[in-house]
Every structure is written in structure tokens, then in C-alpha cells.
A and B are shown apart, each in its own frame.
Chain A
Amino acid sequence: MNAKRKDMIATVIIDLIVAIVVGILFFLLAYILIKGLPHVSWSFLTGATDSFDGTGGIGVQLFNSFYLLVLTMLISIPISLGAGIYLAEYAKDNWRTSLIRSAIEVLSSLPSVVVGLFGFLLFVVKFKIGFSVISGAIALTFFNLPLLTRNIEESLSAVPRSQREAGLSLGLSKWKTEVGIILPVALPGIVTGVVLSAGRVFGEAAALIYTAGQSAPVTNFADWNPMDAASPLNPFRPAETLAVHIWKMNTEGLASNAAALSAAASAVLIIAVLLFNLGARVLGSYLYRRVTASK
């Protein structure tokens, strides 16, 4: 067999593999959307859940998912930013740093259900916070931190060393160089990572079942005082998210049309996650053009 023929066969095989991967994705997406979208309506998106008669909506769950996401990001971004900057710029190359790195790797490979159980035992039971948005947000932070830290570290490390030397040679301090010169260049990569991890957090169920809870008490969307028990912003109320809701409808749904409702909720979830992915790309490239002043 000559080289040209071998090359052709290899190309065909590789193309085929890629086609399979893309095919699976499109099949999944199409299946979920076709099954779910016909049941999606405005009242479904905004209405309150009724577990019995099957007319229920996912309004509260949708809000809970976004609220939990925002809280999780508020906690995890500052921590992972600090950790990422430390690892990329300040950590010396020694056993302590490699210990930190392996700790982060272990944390990222913890099964999310274990993280959820840990959160349940520590926050919900031991600290008596109960099933709540805040318990869920902390559990999701554990789950989110390693990925985000890695992403930030890698984005920073990808900035050429010559940029750091340029900053230092002008008499800028290391910190000033880091924040004013390196971070802006790394920002598009960091933002892309943050938005992608937001998609993962948004779709997470297992870690939330035991922390944020499986009930979505009807909240008063006219009350925005976070201290009030009925306020949607109250971080100490139980908050079933969309992903948990899908899981629950499929395991203990009582409505006769539970399957259709969960298909519709799945379609909404998938669309949200796709939007996060799309948003990551658009925002990343927009920021890159902004910070580098290239139009």
C-alpha cells in the first residue's frame, strides 16, 4: 500500500470518528428538543409547580437555578482567582506546590453526589443551616473551585513571559504587572472558562439534592428583601433547581403527564446550557478585542 493510499484511509477514518461525535451530539439535542419544546409555553416557564394535576410550571425552579448560579459564582470566582494567580505567578516550583496541585486534582475528581452528601452533613445538619440556597451554593463552590482555578492558572500561564519582563523592566511592581498587564491579556480565557463552568453548575443536580433541597416553596416575586422568608432572594430558603426538578419528576412525579413536563424542562435546561456556551465564545472574543484594542 503506498503512502498516498494510507493517508487517504487514515483521513477517512478520522473524518468518520468526528462525524460520529458530532452525530451523537446532534441526535441528543434534536431528541430532547423535539420531545420537549412542544410542551414549553410562557405559562410553563413562569408558572408555579403543581405536583398533582400536571399543569405546573417551572418558574420558581428556573429562578432558583439562576440565583444559585450567581451566588456560587460570587463565592467561587474570588477564591479561584486568588488561587489561580498564586499558582501561576507566585508559587515556587517545589513539593508544596505540587501537593497543592494534586489536592486540586483530587477535589475536581470527587463525585458530585459525595460533595452533596458532605454539604448535607456539614452545612445542613451540623451547622443547622437547613436545605437552603446558601448550602447549595457552597457545595457547588467545592465542585466548581478546582476547574475554575485550573482554568485561571492556565490562562495566566499562557501569557508570554516577555510581557512580565516588559512590566518589570519599566519599574512596575510584580503585583501591578500582574493585575494591569497580565490579567487583561488572560481575561478572555478566564471569562470563557467562567461561563463554561457556569453551564456545568447550572445543570448540576446530584450535589444539590441534599443541600439546596428538593422543594420549591412558592415565593413572592414582589418581595425583594433578602431577609424576608418569602422573598426569592432569601438565601436561607430551600430551593429546588431546574436540574433537580427534572430528576424528581422522573423518580417521584405524580402528575399523569410527568414525562412530558420533564421533557419540556430538559429542553429548557439544554437551551440554557447552550446559551452559556455560545455566550462564552461571544464574550471571550469581544473581550479580547476590547483589551487588545484591536478592532
Chain B
Amino acid sequence: MLKQYSFDKTAVQTFDDQTSLALKTENLQVFYGTNHAMHDANLAFPKNQITALIGASGSGKSTYLRSLNRMNDTIATVTGKIWYHGVDINEPNVNIYEIRRHIGMVFQRPNPFAKSIRENITYALRANGVKNKTELTERIEKSLRGAALWDEVKDSLDKSALSLSGGQQQRLCIARSIAMAPDVLLLDEPCSALDPISTVKVEETLLELQKQYTIIIVTHNMQQAARISSQCAFFHLGHVMEYTPTGTMFSNPQIPVTQDYISGSFG
């Protein structure tokens, strides 16, 4: 029997004016038809930090994440504001394609294109007008180095991306995203389909990447959240229950529901 928790008692941190924020949501709500999947999420994401979104399956964390770059547009109704560089990007007249170039996304299952490794990186760049050969070559190397994949694939850039291992494919997807030079990188359980060794590699990559990017990662794995994130948000049944620095969340959770979830005595 699942314990009942009050949704009134939450502990969500806010940031003062000194902290520079990459992204901020105000009263973000998501509806799938009549199903109210996300209630009033008010979260702010500091620049160049990793923020982890944790919670049980169905808690709304992936739904929330996918709303941030408008990937939910066709399947859900999203209300509220998403502030990015002083613009509410949840407005209907915003160019969503432009937004997605600034807010990249990596998915749960590695989904490289059925093309060569090189083309996986260059396809979207070309489509966005980067045609210069030297620049493309530079971007390939830079993004593959950024995703810690360069040394493994530099001699086989024309091989099919599908011939890579799962962990390599996922790092290729990260490289593909950062090749677009986004500011924010959204990751939706990027390691859930990977083995522990590949997971460590991806985590090391993310820790390195936070110097240049703001990273928001959904994860099922609390150890992972503890290892890599600076801020941590706990989602429960479509509500943001607690949002605190990761150290605080794991050593001194503010409210009973978080405490129960983290200690494993949930439900």
C-alpha cells in the first residue's frame, strides 16, 4: 500500500539574483488529454552545474524534462512559463527548431542515425547551414573529444554508427548534441540502457561537460545523482516535492516523502 503524502509540504529552493541561471520554469503544468501529469513546477537551473531530476517511474520527471525543449508539443498541453535568456520559450510564436539548437537532448536509448559516425555529427550541422569543410572537421573532432569518444573512433569515422557498442552510441549521441553548440543539455536517463563501465564513462563525460554546458539529467539511479549532480530535484506523482543542493538532499532531506524515497522505505 502506497503511503499518502501531502503535496502542500514541499521544500523547493530558489536562487538569489547573484546566481546566473540557464533556465527557469514558472508554474509549468503538463496535461496529457485530461490527465494532469505535472503540477506547478517552479524550478531554476544554475549555469554550468549538473541538476539531477529523481523520482519513481510516473513521477513526471521525464515529462518535465521533455517540456523544456518543447519535445512534448505534439503529445501534450504544456502551460506556464519557461524562461531562457529572458524569453518565455513556451510561447506559441517561439521558433521551436531554434530553441532545440540551444537546448539539446539525449535520450534514454541510444538513437544514433543509421549513418556513418561522421554523418551523425554533421547531418544536423549541414542542415543548419554549416557547410565549410574545415569547420565541419573541427566540429567533429571537438564534439567527439567532448564526449570522450574521439580516441575510440578517430580511425573509423566512416563506419556505421550502428556498429558501435551501446555506451559508444550513447556518447556519440552526446557528441551529436554538443556539436550544435547548445547552452543546455537535457539528458533523459542516458545510462539506463548501459552497463556499469559505460555508465562510468558517460558520467565522467558529463562532469567534464558541465564546465561548458548546463546539464539537466533525469535518472533512476540515486547513486548516480549523488555522484555527479550539484542540485537535485525530487518528483512525486507529478509534483516537485523537494529541490535542494544534492549534498543536502542525500544527507538531510527536508520532508518525509524525500526521506522515505532516499532511504528506500517508499510505499
- Contact status B173-A166, CB under 8 Å: yes
A32 interfacial by beta-carbon distance below 8 Å: no
A109–B103 CA distance with the chains assembled, in angstroms: 49
Given contacts A173-B97, A293-B159, 16 further A-B contacts (CB under 8 A): A160-B111, A163-B111, A163-B113, A163-B114, A165-B111, A166-B176, A168-B100, A170-B180, A171-B97, A171-B101, A171-B128, A171-B180, A291-B115, A293-B158, A293-B160, A293-B161
Interface string of B122-143 (1 = CB under 8 A from A): 0110011000000000000000
30 contacts between A and B (CB under 8 A): A163-B114, A165-B71, A166-B111, A166-B112, A166-B173, A166-B176, A168-B71, A168-B100, A169-B71, A169-B104, A169-B105, A169-B107, A170-B100, A170-B124, A170-B177, A170-B180, A171-B97, A171-B98, A171-B100, A171-B180, A172-B127, A176-B127, A184-B115, A291-B114, A291-B115, A292-B115, A293-B119, A293-B159, A293-B160, A295-B160
Question: Which B residues between 157 and 190 are near A, CB-CB below 8 angstroms?
Answer: 158-163, 173, 176-177, 180
A171–B111 CA distance with the chains assembled, in angstroms: 15
A-B contact count (CB 8 A): 75
Say yes or no: A172-B158 contact (C-beta < 8 A), given A165-B111, A180-B127, A292-B114: no
With a CB–CB cut-off of 8 A, which chain A residues contact B101? 170-171
Residue among B109, B119, B158 making CB contact with A162, cutoff 8 Å? B109
- Contact status A172-B163, CB under 8 Å: no
* Minimum CB–CB distance for B159 against chain A, Å: 7
With a CB–CB cut-off of 8 A, which chain B residues contact A166? 107, 111-113, 173, 176
Interface centre among A165, A168, A172, A293 (most CB of B within 10 A): A293
Main secondary structure on A side of the interface with B: helix
A173–B114 CA distance with the chains assembled, in angstroms: 18
A291–B113 CA distance with the chains assembled, in angstroms: 10
* Minimum CB–CB distance for B23 against chain A, Å: 16
Categorize the interface residue count of chain B: 20 to 34
A48–B113 CA distance with the chains assembled, in angstroms: 52
Q: Which residues of A does B touch, CB under 8 Å?
A: 160, 162-163, 165-173, 176, 180-181, 184-185, 291-295
Q: Which residues of B does A touch, CB under 8 Å?
A: 69, 71, 97-101, 104-105, 107, 109, 111-116, 119, 123-124, 127-128, 158-163, 173, 176-177, 180
CB closest chain-B residue, reference A173: B97
- Contact status B104-A170, CB under 8 Å: yes
CB closest chain-B residue, reference A288: B114
* Minimum CB–CB distance for A184 against chain B, Å: 7
| Nearest 4 CB-CB pairings of A with B | A171-B101, A162-B111, A170-B124, A169-B105
CB closest chain-A residue, reference B108: A162
